[in-house]
Amino acid sequence: MIDRDLTGRETLIMKCIWSAGKEISLQEVQKDLKEMYDWDAKRSTVRTFLTSIEGKGFITIERRGRYSYIKPLINEEKYKRDQAEKMVDFWYEGSTEGLIKTLISGKLSEEDERYLMEVLGDLDEC
């Protein structure tokens, strides 16, 4: 499990890095932040956040000439899984059932409920 969490802004930056699916330049991160999240961040601001994210062990930054290139060290699925586990542990004392009840309380149609039961049944087979 990851020891340190990302801040809200760091998460937006990581989403841009993860969505690239490959090494990404700082300039591309800036462009993606504007397009995806309407955040017109300055280069120096993005650089500061990237340094923090690197310090937390999420990325590596490589300088080549005038450009910086960022590679994720932790994949998005692992981070989401770790965050979900932390949330379940904190809010629901480790009970995934409690989380599911919260998510679906009063919001499921009969059709959705049947589908959910099928999905849960499939999990039993795993």
Which domain, by its residues, includes 113? 76-125
Do 80 and 56 share a structural domain? no
∠ CA 92-98-99, rounded to 5°: 85
3-class SS of residue 96: helix
| 40-77 pLDDT tens trace | 999 999 999 999 999 999 999 999 999 999 999 999 99
Ranges of H-type helices in 21-109: 26-37, 43-55, 76-92, 96-104
pLDDT of amino acid 13: 98
The pLDDT of residue 1 is 53
Same domain, 83 and 111: yes
Closest CA to 41 of 56, 29, 53: 29
Reported confidence tier of residue 21, pLDDT bands at 50, 70, 90: very high
Query: Is 3 a domain residue?
Result: no
Percent of the chain with pLDDT over 90: 71
CATH code, domain with 34? 1.10.10.10
Backbone angles phi, psi at 74, to 5 degrees: -125, 130
Mean pLDDT score across all residues of the chain: 91
